[in-house]
Amino acid sequence: MPVEFTPPRIAIVIDKKTFTRELVKDSGAFGICIPGAALVDLTYAVGSGTGREGDKFAHYRIDAAAGPVLGLPVLEAGCAAWMECRWIPEAHTEDAYDTCFGEVVSAAADERVFQRGRWSFRDDNRALQTIHHLGAGNFVHAGQVIQAGPLAA
């Protein structure tokens, strides 16, 4: 979720008891990859296991590039977008809440699905349309765009 535009900052939820949260706290950084619909199976598999048991990148043969600023692994193939973020420690939330904040230091989006600063979902880019987990392995993708109009007075 975006929280600031200048500098760009986001809020994310990472369970404070997870290995991911430990890695973020230890490194002071995190990457966000926004998978498209074509990666739904991989997204669910990777999100359902822990990295404590082994390298998920190796296990699932994930081809990641190094982000340009922090060198974090980012996925370009099959993702609508990615971001590299510096973790912003918040003393009053660190141990009490799962919400984390980050300053976006680099980002990119696939031009087939993100144009002129806006998402563009069409039939021809369905594989890159963002997915949203509903729980229990169920996802929806953001393919149907509904344009808002003015309210009648």
Determine the pLDDT at residue 93. 66
| Ordered domains of the chain (ranges, CATH) | 2-141 (2.30.110.10)
Identify the residue whose tokens are 């509903």.
134
Determine the pLDDT at residue 13. 93
More confidently predicted of 93 and 110: 110
3-state secondary structure of 40: helix
Could you give phi then psi for residue 139, rounded to 5 degrees? Answer: -130, 160
Determine the pLDDT at residue 149. 85
**Tens-place pLDDT, residues 33-79:** 999 999 999 999 999 989 998 999 999 999 999 999 999 999 988 99
pTM for this model (two decimals): 0.87
3-state secondary structure of 12: strand
State what percent of residues in the chain have pLDDT above 70: 98
Instruction: Tell me the mean pLDDT in the region 22-26.
Output: 94
**Tens-place pLDDT, residues 115-137:** 999 999 999 999 999 999 999 99
Cα–Cα dist 120/113, whole Å: 5
